[in-house]
A and B are shown apart, each in its own frame.
Chain A
């Protein structure tokens, strides 16, 4: 069904143009849906639908080219940064961004993202951290919290056996290449609004040619966390925020100037 805009009424919120009117295959309450929508809103607001290219990765976001009304490409597991590098270098006028999960970016693809950041490539990465391998049925990810249940840490993650969680933003911000690195979350409306601002700044960083931009978004996976969607949001706030503090981890001066422009606008 297509929702028509009533003739005389002001639209306060409507599906962004860049998002297909197509049911998402994601589970109920999955944070990936919110992040998809935020990206579509940002692409609309920046007017880059003709130039944006989504480089999807392997995980529950694997179908994202069905949902976005702009170009999309599927990459091998963890290799999205390499694909985005190629797109940006061959077609500098395009706006490629990678959309990666924690199993994708922080496990099999760790080397790819570290070197893309070290090279200071000029593309954007949206990194959705749900502390689990969602698509394959809830195995432990490098970002799984200590003591957290997963199908491969049934007694809770234990450091002696499975090591410690990786803090991706902290790790990558130690490099000189990236221009903008931030961690946001989608657990409540105000956090979603802030996440959108961060994603927008990341895209503007790329448009201004300032270098690599990465936004990590903490997101719930209610099915594999074995929680109701509303409880999953609460669990995220209670347990993930202390381990993964929100905020900006790297903002080079040129990006700070860019950000100020918006604040005044």
Chain B
């Protein structure tokens, strides 16, 4: 068993927003301490302007989950990259 360190991920945490279910209430935008989330430039099928991850700020996500905690529609999931994953060496 050899431990491979996957170094391809420069940031440690990230969020995934289900934009089609977002109602654009901005509670996540107000809650994020690092300004990672902003408004998208399109409207979704429900007619709301959804929240989206600001591309330039994406690296600043610390995975604190406050955006997900404030989201009334539970559209935000938060993940942490596992830099170390174990694979059997061939």
Which A positions have Cβ atoms within 8 angstroms of B?
A: 1, 3, 5-6, 8-16, 19, 23-24, 26-34, 37, 188-189, 192-193, 222, 228-230, 233
Contact = CB atoms under 8 A, between A and B. Distances in A.
A32 B26 contact: no
Contact of A23 (B13, B21, B30, B71): B21
A263 B66 CA distance: 22
Interface stretch (B34-42, B52-60, B75-83): B75-83
Nearest to B65: A13
Interface string B58-90: 000001011011111110111111100100000
B76 A13 contact: yes
A13 B25 contact: no
Contacts of A16: 74
30 contacts: A1-B18, A5-B79, A6-B79, A8-B6, A9-B82, A10-B79, A10-B82, A12-B13, A12-B79, A13-B69, A13-B78, A14-B78, A15-B74, A23-B73, A24-B72, A28-B23, A29-B23, A30-B72, A31-B72, A33-B73, A33-B74, A37-B74, A188-B31, A188-B70, A189-B66, A192-B70, A222-B25, A229-B26, A230-B26, A230-B30
A229 B25 contact: yes
A55 B13 CA distance: 38
A60 to B, nearest CB: 12
Interface of B: 6, 13, 16, 18, 20-21, 23-27, 29-31, 46, 48, 63, 65-66, 68-74, 76-82, 85
Nearest to B86: A8
Given A189-B66, A192-B70, A3 B30 contact: no
A254 B30 CA distance: 40
Given A12-B78, A28-B48, A189 B69 contact: yes
Given A10-B82, A12-B78, A29-B25, A24 B73 contact: yes
B26 to A, nearest CB: 5
Contacts, number: 91
Contacts of A28: 23-25, 48, 72
Contacts of B18: 1, 3
B78 A1 contact: no
Given A3-B77, A12-B63, 19 more contacts: A3-B16, A8-B6, A8-B81, A8-B85, A9-B79, A9-B80, A10-B79, A12-B79, A16-B74, A23-B73, A26-B72, A26-B73, A33-B73, A37-B74, A189-B69, A189-B70, A229-B26, A230-B29, A233-B30
Instruction: Give the interface centre of A1, A3, A16 by most chain B CB atoms within 10 Å.
Output: A3
Nearest to A15: B74
Instruction: Give the interface centre of B29, B72, B76 by most chain A CB atoms within 10 Å.
Output: B72
Q: Which 5 A-B pairs have CB atoms at the shortest separation, nearest pair first?
A: A33-B72, A29-B25, A28-B23, A229-B25, A28-B25
A1 B77 contact: no
A10 B72 CA distance: 23
